Structure 1
Amino acid sequence: MGGVLVPLLALLVSAAALVNGQAIEDDGRGRDLIGWLGETFKAGENRAQDSRMVVLSWHPRVFLYKGILTHEECDQLMDHSVNRLERSGVSDATTGAGAVSDIRTSSGMFYDRGETELVKRIEKRLAMWTMLPMENGEGIQVLRYEKTQRYDPHHDYFSFEGADDNGGNRMATVLMYLATPEEGGETVFPKVAVPPWQTPDNYSECAMKGMAVKPVKGDAVLFWSIRPDGRFDPGSLHGSCPVIKGVKWSATKWIHVGHYAMSGERSETVKRVQYVPPPPPAVPGCENQHKLCAHWAESGECESNPGYMIGKKGMPGACVLACNRCDVI
Structure 2
Amino acid sequence: MAVTPLLALLLALIVAPPVSTLAADDVTGRDLVGWLGETYARGGRSDLPDSRMVVLSWHPRIFLYKGILTHDECDFLIEEATSRLERSGVSDSVTGAGGLSDIRTSSGMFYVRGENPVVKRIEERLAMWTMLPVENGEGIQVLRYQKTQKYDAHHDYFSFEGADENGGNRMATVLMYLSAPEEGGETVFPKVPAPPGQTSANFSECGMRGMAVKPVKGDAVLFWSIQPDGRFDAKSLHGSCPVIRGVKWSATKWIHVGHYAMGGEREETVHRVMYVPPPPPAVPGCKNTHKLCQHWSESGECESNPGYMIGHKGAPGACVLACNRCDILKAA
Q: Shorter-chain-normalised TM-score: which range?
A: 0.7 to 0.9
What corresponds to 1:74 in structure 2? 74
Distance 1:322 1:107 in 2: 37
Identify unmatched segments of 5+ residues in structure 2. Answer: 1-21, 34-38, 45-49
User: Judging changes above 3 Å, is the alpha-carbon distance between structure 1 residues 278 and 291 closer, same or farther for their aligned structure 2 residues?
Assistant: farther
Matches within 5 A, 1:210-289: 210-289=210-289
- 1:299: how far off? 2.3
Deviation track 1:108-129 (CA, whole Å, cap 9, x = no partner) reads 0111111111111110000000
Q: Is the 8 A contact 2:140 2:251 kept in 1?
A: yes
- 1:99: how far off? 1.2
Distance 1:268 1:201 in 2: 49
Q: CA RMSD in A?
A: 2.2
Distance 2:136 2:199 in 1: 37
1:64 is paired with a residue of what secondary structure?
strand
Question: Percent identity among equivalent residues?
Answer: 79
What corresponds to 1:38 in structure 2? 42
1:84 is paired with a residue of what secondary structure?
coil
Distance 1:303 1:212 in 2: 21
What corresponds to 1:155 in structure 2? 155
Count of residue correspondences = 296
- 1:264: how far off? 1.0
What corresponds to 1:172 in structure 2? 172
The structure 1 residue matched to 2:25, chosen from 25, 28, 42, is: 28
User: Judging changes above 3 Å, is the alpha-carbon distance between structure 1 residues 27 and 281 closer, same or farther for their aligned structure 2 residues?
Assistant: farther
Q: Is the 8 A contact 1:297 1:323 kept in 2?
A: yes
**Greater relative contact order: 1 or 2 (C-alpha under 8 angstroms, separation 6 or more)?**
1
Matched, 1:200 2:197: no
Name the TM-score, length of structure 2 as normaliser.
0.84
User: Judging changes above 3 Å, is the alpha-carbon distance between structure 1 residues 30 and 101 closer, same or farther for their aligned structure 2 residues?
Assistant: farther
Aligned partner of 2:42: which letter?
A: G
- 1:246: how far off? 0.3
- 1:315: how far off? 4.1
2:54 is paired with a residue of what secondary structure?
strand
User: Judging changes above 3 Å, is the alpha-carbon distance between structure 1 residues 295 and 37 closer, same or farther for their aligned structure 2 residues?
Assistant: same
User: Judging changes above 3 Å, is the alpha-carbon distance between structure 1 residues 51 and 265 closer, same or farther for their aligned structure 2 residues?
Assistant: closer
Aligned partner of 1:174: which letter?
A: V
Aligned partner of 1:212: which letter?
A: A
Q: Is the 8 A contact 2:94 2:299 kept in 1?
A: no
Distance 1:97 1:271 in 2: 21
Distance 1:92 1:191 in 2: 19
Q: Is the 8 A contact 1:26 1:38 kept in 2?
A: no
Name the TM-score, length of structure 1 as normaliser.
0.84
